[in-house]
Amino acid sequence: MKQQPPSDPPSNKSQHWSDVTEKGSSLGMTLLLWFYRYLGQPAFSVVAFFVIGWFYLSARVQRQAAQNFQHRVAQHRLRLGMPEWQPRPFRQFLAFGFSALDKISAWAGDIHVNDVDFRNFQTMQQAVGSGQGGIILISHHGNMEICRAIGQQIPTLKINAVVHTRNAVKFNQLLQKVAPDAGLNLIEVTSFGPETAVMMLDKIERGEFIVIVADRTSVQHRERSLTADFLGAPAYLPEGPFILASILKCPVYFMACLRGDDNRFLVDFTPYTKRLLLDRKHRQQALANAAQDYAHWLEGLALRFPTQWFNFFDFWEKPRPSRDKNPSKTP
């Protein structure tokens, strides 16, 4: 007889993702990269288990968030008639830690295009060869650094990644010390304005792609969020990436890179729309529909690769109005 998952996931104190300190994960990743840089990969692999184990035991909020997510996956798979899933929160932490090694390996040239399986490869080739760039919406699920790195091996493909958190910038600076090319095509922004939009539009018109995360609500404007069903419950997504895609009047794609059981990587490249239209009369409904489409795509991957979910906060917590206008914590 199959074991039923708990009817209710472990409780977690309500907090916006930016209120959950990321210093633990940032410190852990910094230590791992330091060991890789000075002691090499063997030391990295050994130390990683201890660093990740320490982080798992000491980071109560993040641990509860992982438990919450894993239980929701188990419940939703059961509802959908999928094979049973036993919650594995520690495996989720391990995957997060070892994703740093994959990032380094990719930028060091140890991961090649031939090591990657592409979903919709012909569609991706057509998009790249069309000369028309676009917006690629990603998430904190999987390892998009693999795509950025192998993109350097494809002369016709140029991916620009938007980073606008202090932790993300610091991590990329540290990553560059180990793999100097990791700093290529990064767009560091603290807020989106007309100048940023013009710069992005210029890149898109040159056939380049702009990568933006779309799974964390804004810190500066937390209330500007969209509700979408995710794993059977309402979750909250930022409206900014979808509005930006509409303003830029360009093709929109969803993209993720996951590690498979065979240690190969799967890149899911899903065309969404040639242009996201937001007419004034039906603007909010169009935004809600776009957010739900993105959430549905993301849910499918999360159910298939549950341990590669790297949002260590309550993903279903309704954002409260912002108090701190400091943009340094924006995703």
Q: What is the CATH number of the domain that holds 207?
A: 3.40.1130
Predicted pLDDT at 5:
46
Predicted pLDDT at 320:
73
> Do the domain assignments include residue 185?
yes
pLDDT exceeds 60 at position 137: yes
| Strand partners for 270 | 254
Q: How many CB atoms lie within 10 A of CB 270?
A: 20
Predicted pLDDT at 6:
46
> Do the domain assignments include residue 103?
yes
Range of the domain at 228: 17-309
Predicted pLDDT at 328:
40
Structure tokens at 104: 């380094």
Out of 222-226, 284-288, 310-314, which region has the weakest mean confidence (pLDDT)?
Answer: 222-226
In sequence order, the 6+-apart residues with CB closer than 8 A to the CB of 83 are 77
- What's 316's DSSP letter? T
> Do the domain assignments include residue 331?
no
Q: Which amino acid is at 128?
A: V
Q: Report CA 326 to chain centroid distance, whole Å.
A: 22
Question: What's the pLDDT tens digit per position in 69-107?
Answer: 999 999 999 999 999 999 999 999 999 988 888 888 888
pLDDT band with cut points at 50, 70 and 90 for residue 109: confident
Report the number of distinct structural domains present in the chain.
1
> Do the domain assignments include residue 207?
yes
Residue with tokens 């979903």: 119
Under a CB-based contact definition with an 8 Å cutoff, are residues 133 and 205 in contact?
yes
Predicted pLDDT at 135:
96
Predicted pLDDT at 330:
37
pLDDT exceeds 50 at position 3: no
Predicted pLDDT at 309:
97
Predicted pLDDT at 258:
96
Residue 270 CA to residue 152 CA, distance in Å, equals: 20
Residue 86 CA to residue 295 CA, distance in Å, equals: 23
How do beta strands 134-138 and 116-119 pair? unpaired
Q: Which amino acid is at 115?
A: D
Question: What's the pLDDT tens digit per position in 164-189?
Answer: 655 565 666 666 666 666 556 777 77
pTM to 2 decimal places: 0.86
> What count of residues does the chain have?
331
> Do the domain assignments include residue 243?
yes
pLDDT: is 221 or 93 the higher one?
Answer: 93
- What's 329's DSSP letter? G
